[in-house]
Amino acid sequence: MQKNLVKESDRMAFPLIVGSLCLYGFTLPLSKSISTIVMGAIYAVCLGMVAVQKEFRMNVYHSVQQPLNLSIGLYIGVLCLGLSYSQDLREGISVLKQAVNLFLVYLMFAVLLDAEHDRERRIFIAQTALFAFLMGIFVLDVIAFLTYSGVIGNRQFILPVTPLKMHHIWFGNLNALGLLVAAALLVPQFPKGNMVQTAALWIFLPVAVAALLLSTSRTAWLGTICAVTVFFYIVAKKKRLFFLLSGFFLGGCVAAYFISDIVHTRINQIYWFLTGNPDISLGARFVMWKASLSMFFSNPLLGVGTGDYKSMIAAFVASGQYPDILGKFNQPHNMYLFALATNGIVGLSAFLFIFYRIMRYTKTVLRQQGKAFGGIALIVTIHFLVAGLTESLFNIHVLISSFAMLMGISVRTMCLRDIDE
């Protein structure tokens, strides 16, 4: 059995770190700069404690082996290999930094949670960090509603809503993640928080749905529909209930198409996808996907090089193969094609291995009674897998960091041991 994290006389340091993790979760949706500073401070404090406190060092050592270390490490290794023959080192390093950030944020949450000896405290810390993340999204949504109503800025009744100048696709996917996590925290299988937290979660749900609609992000809508359907399957003890809940949900989606002008207009624009018109967002995506496949076929095994998507697009545009509008984007709005184009079959395999490891983990957890954390990992992963078809989510700092944090909380070694206790 593990020892306590530190000697009793030194235990004040750990609550400070835990509080900082919660602060990171709260600030992540609101500010890249502030959340980065907070995580940097956590890294520094942890390194200092590892250097001077043997108890802390030993507990961290025993907790450092986590389920996703291998898969994320392989992905980083493939990106480093691709960087060795990249023509655009600056862009390649930027892509690599996102992957390293994925690993470090995941590891920090997983290790520090697992280093805590007491099972109930681990669950409490995990729930608190999740709740802080949701409250950060809630504050962002309040800013969004104030922006849309004209109280803040000069974008009254203008869609899509972009609070704090955040891209509407990022905003939509953040609310999709918040919606999924909040729903998971409310299911009976999850240990309950206090009444204030529970009330706040019920308030958050409709706010997140409204914000998701105002984002006008079809990427987030599609991912949410698929993830919510899976969520109903997890929580419904009887298949009849699953089909009933799914029917009501899908009926609500259809009703939203006929009732909401926002949904109606955005869905009707999809037919432009088939035309390949680059002046329409989906049409531009179609052309970018064709360009990505061209890159892939030029080097199927290893791709054109980490970070070389933009430079290759510039070459395609200069040769007249593709329209100028593609030069505006540094990724093809498809995370699978991005991996395939820049790092080939090897890169896509390493990328998909991360999701395979998560699915393998959650399959084990969902067989047990304590399925809550496994459920969060599964539905968040489903959302990323589906939404990633039309957006390179792993190229967006706030989304890859959110994914890393949620996986660090949900995909941990001690989750399996907690279930067995």
Provide DSSP, 279-315. TSHHHHHHHHHHHHHHHHHHSTTT-S-TT-HHHHHHH
Look up residue 363 and give its amino acid. Answer: K
HSE-CB of 174 using CA atoms within 13 angstroms: 34
Does a structural domain hold residue 301?
yes
Residue 368 Rama label (left phi>0; alpha psi -120 to 50; beta): beta
Minimum mean pLDDT among 84-88, 162-166, 201-205, 414-418: which range?
Answer: 414-418
Residue 268 has pLDDT above 80, yes or no: no
Supply 174's token pair. Answer: 């953040």
Nearest partner of 33 among 21, 46, 20, 24, judged by Cα: 24
Q: Is 371 helix (H, G, I), strand (E, B) or coil?
A: coil
Does a structural domain hold residue 2?
no
Residue 297: domain span: 67-240+288-420
Residue in the block written with tokens 């992000």: 217
The predicted pLDDT at position 23 comes to 95
Minimum mean pLDDT among 4-18, 144-158, 365-379, 404-418: which range?
Answer: 4-18
Look up residue 54 and give its amino acid. Answer: K
Minimum mean pLDDT among 19-33, 239-253, 286-300, 371-385: which range?
Answer: 239-253
Does a structural domain hold residue 277?
no
The predicted pLDDT at position 203 comes to 95
Residue 16 has pLDDT above 90, yes or no: no
Considering the chain, what percentage of its residues have pLDDT values greater than 70?
Answer: 88
Does a structural domain hold residue 3?
no
Q: How many residues does the chain have?
A: 421
Average pLDDT over the chain reads: 86
**pLDDT grade, residue 55 (50/70/90)?**
confident
HSE-CB of 385 using CA atoms within 13 angstroms: 16
Burial class, 51, CB count within 10 angstroms (exposed 0-12 / middle 13-18 / buried 19+)? exposed
Could you give the CA distance from residue 245 to residue 230 in angstroms, rounded to a whole number? 11
Does a structural domain hold residue 354?
yes
The predicted pLDDT at position 169 comes to 93
Does a structural domain hold residue 221?
yes
- Quickly list DSSP for 121-168: HHHHHHHHHHHHHHHHHHHHHHHHHHHHHTSSTT-TT-SS--GGG--H
What's the pLDDT tens digit per position in 338-377?
999 999 999 999 999 999 999 988 876 666 544 678 889 9
- Quick one: average pLDDT of 200-216? 94
Residue 420 has pLDDT above 60, yes or no: no
Domain total in the chain: 1
The predicted pLDDT at position 9 comes to 39
DSSP 191: P
Could you give the CA distance from residue 291 to residue 121 in angstroms, rounded to a whole number? 50
Does a structural domain hold residue 230?
yes
Does a structural domain hold residue 76?
yes
